[in-house]
Amino acid sequence: MSFFIGVWNQFNKLILPSSLHKITSKTTLLITFTGKKSGMTYTTPVNYTQMGNTLRITSLRTRLWWRNLKTNPEVIITLRGNKVNGVAKVFEDRRTVANELDNYLKPAPRMARYFNVSANPDGSFNENDLFNSAEGRVVIKVEIKDLSK
């Protein structure tokens, strides 16, 4: 991890649970989970999109944190300054990841450029681009249990 990313992650860990969360909470949240081997609690900032009570997060497959969610799907999310409980589901199959990336991008189409995904004339996303972007990625879908805010 680069120095900048480390500093940015520490900044978000301080800001997102505070009253200053609006600085980054529109696109970034904290996900807290239990390590599958250690049993320790970990918190990491991630980008997300939201549709109703469903959050979608994407990660590079080479990163390790998301693997904990496969065996321990219960998570605590710090979302716009509030802690909420959720259940995570990890998608690894390339076709499913492509479909979930489509859902990830729908509420935030401006993010498509970061995934090298182009839009079709009707506004939908190019299926081949989604499939290509899905290589080397996973998508984590979190269903929020108690979203009241």
Give the chain's residues under pLDDT 50. Answer: 149
Q: What pairing do the DSSP bridges indicate for beta strands 74-79 and 54-60?
A: unpaired
pLDDT at 1: 59
The token pair at 82 is 């509030």
pLDDT at 147: 60
Nearest to 26 by CA among 57, 47, 1, 41: 47
Query: What percent of the chain is predicted at pLDDT more than 90?
Result: 80
* Bridge partner residues of 72 (DSSP): none
* CATH superfamily for domain 3-144: Electron Transport, Fmn-binding Protein; Chain A (2.30.110.10)
Q: What are phi and psi of 62, to 5 degrees?
A: -70, -20
DSSP 8-state secondary structure symbol assigned to residue 86: E
CA distance 32 to 84: 10
pLDDT at 15: 86
CA distance 79 to 111: 19
Q: Which H or E run contains 46?
A: strand 41-47
pLDDT at 146: 73
106 exposure class (CB count in 10 Å sphere: 0-12, 13-18, 19+): middle
The token pair at 131 is 């499939």
For 111-134, how does the pLDDT look when each residue is reduced to its tens digit (9 = 90+)? 999 999 999 999 999 999 999 999
